Amino acid sequence: MKTISRRQFLKTSAVAGVALPLIRASSRAAALRSNGANDTVRVAVIGMGGTETIGGVGGRGHQLIASLQQVPKLSIAALCDVDEGFLRREAQPLKDKGQDVATHKDLRRVFDDKSSDAVIVATPNHWHGIATVWACQARGAG
């Protein structure tokens, strides 16, 4: 086995540390180019949540929708929540504006639907991990 000096190890590590982010940025830029710089990004939001919970953190998806609507070149393609009342509350105003918004009670249906480019997970904490893993697997990143 070939031994290397500490100096050589640090030098090699530094080069790798600089190169890795560049490679990732390059592949990310290539992925964006494949969609087109002027294309609209279609987003699915999972977890609308209740807005009337006193002292709670519910309603994060509800809070994000207004902000997402202000982002240029972004449209909300799908909403997901297990509570149909929360889904109706958020989907109806978007539909009234003429937006085509899919609604799902099961987050797995969001991942089956390939019309969304990105997913925002606004679920309770114990659902974040599995939802993120399923989202990555649905797009071939996992």
d(CA 26, CA 117): 19
Q: What is the DSSP letter of 64?
A: H
Q: Would you state the structure tokens that stand for residue 39, as one six-digit string? A: 């294309």
Do 53 and 21 fall within a single domain? no
User: Are the C-beta atoms of 40 and 117 separated by less than 8 Å?
Assistant: no
CATH of the domain at 132: 3.40.50.720
Do 31 and 82 fall within a single domain? no
Do 31 and 77 fall within a single domain? no
Over residues 107-126, the mean pLDDT reads 88
Do 3 and 51 fall within a single domain? no
Instruction: State the residue range of the domain holding 8.
Output: 1-38
pLDDT surpasses 60 at 26: no
Residues 32-85: tens digit of each pLDDT:
555 565 688 999 999 888 777 655 556 788 888 888 988 999 999 999 999 898
Per the structure, the count of domains in the chain is 2
